[in-house]
Amino acid sequence: MLVFISSALIVVYTIFFHIHIASKKQCVSPATGKCISMGVGMVSSTMIGLILALLIPGELAYSTVLSIIISGVFSYFIGQHFGASGMIEALSSGFMGAMMGAMLGDMTPENRQTFIIVAMDIIYLLSILSLMFMVNKEVVKQNAMAKTKLTPLLLSFVLSISVIGIAVTMKARTHVPLDMPEMNMNMNHQHQH
């Protein structure tokens, strides 16, 4: 369920970012646009690689190639607002992030998968929201009269963190430690002596 929520976050925030940038791209300088493309491409593709590696355990080659292909699609939508150089930045960072995410997912032990998914979700959300703040700052700099509302961004961040927290709590409640009966047997054995 946590992998599904992480996947949904990536799709929803990529669409949200795409829409958010579409109306403001004329206010963003080319240098800032390349930086934004690179940042979003990197964090999105790292999450995609991580999720695919966790869904296809032990198959690093397949998860890497698949994550590069999927990240390329996401990177196209991210970078297209900032011209050819923005697209190249997004695709390049997406390629690197997809490989790193797939390696991270493949190397993560099973008992640490929940931790790494939650940590990467939080890093992803903070990165996306900080880049959206960066865009809003550029818009305000270009047009002193334009007041952009940041409340929806903060509300979406709090809502996303809440959903992740609920999913982790539900997973923790359904997870029963497998070594518990063995521990009880050892404790009973020690008490009998």
Provide, rounded to the nearest whole percent, the portion of the chain with pLDDT above 90. Answer: 15
The predicted-structure confidence for 63-73, as pLDDT tens digits, reads as follows: 999 999 999 88
Per the model's pLDDT, the better-predicted residue between 146 and 45 turns out to be 45
Provide, rounded to the nearest whole percent, the portion of the chain with pLDDT above 70. Answer: 73
Global model pTM greater than 0.85: no
The CA distance from 95 to 88, in Å, is 10
Total residues belonging to the chain = 193
Q: Is the pLDDT of residue 51 over 50?
A: yes
CB-based contacts of 13, cutoff 8 Å, min separation 6: 124, 125, 128, 160
Q: Is the pLDDT of residue 158 over 90?
A: no
Please provide the average confidence, as pLDDT, over all residues in the chain.
78
CA dihedral 3, 53, 20, 77 (to 10 degrees): -140
Question: Please, which pLDDT band fits residue 183 given cuts at 50, 70 and 90?
Answer: very low
Question: Please, which pLDDT band fits residue 52 given cuts at 50, 70 and 90?
Answer: very high
The reported pLDDT for the residue numbered 180 is 46
For residue 143, count other CB atoms closer than 10 A to its CB: 11
The CA distance from 81 to 128, in Å, is 16
Query: Average pLDDT for residues 163-173, to the nearest whole number?
Result: 66
